Amino acid sequence: AQSVAQPEDQVNVAEGNPLTVKCTYSVSGNPYLFWYVQYPNRGLQFLLKYITGDNLVKGSYGFEAEFNKSQTSFHLKKPSALVSDSALYFCAVRDVTGGFKTIFGAGTRLFVKA
């Protein structure tokens, strides 16, 4: 069965410091992996996705994520955090053979302090 784990409920980081939001997954086949961000009182917005190819994926707002097949991880990273990055981040996975069914992680709240 597909599953996604975001082991941290909350991540705190100072503005200007690098940030990492962790995600691990489990699928029976090859994964398609996604990161979405949710700002207060808003819907989820797509950040980036891994389909195939380069393990380092670059997305919106300076975010990037690294696909690590051996560790079944897809951690979200940014070299220098901004206060405006404070939001709820969701990792999601689809099995390549499983069509559109998407499994979302529970979410990680990121707080960036000025």
Pairing relationship of beta strands 10-14 and 108-113 according to DSSP bridges: parallel
Are residues 110 and 9 in contact, defined by beta-carbon separation less than 8 angstroms?
A: no
Name the residue nearer to other proteins (CB basis): 42 or 69. 42
Q: Looking up tokens 């980036």, which residue turns up?
A: 48
| Six token digits for residue 74 | 């897809």
Q: Is 26 in the site for other proteins (CB under 8 A)?
A: no
Least distance (Å) from other proteins to the CB of residue 20?
A: 19
Name the residue nearer to other proteins (CB basis): 9 or 70. 9
Binding mask 87-106 for other proteins (x = CB under 8 A): ---x---xxx-xxxxx-xxx
Q: Is 107 in the site for other proteins (CB under 8 A)?
A: yes
For residue 52, the one-letter residue type is T
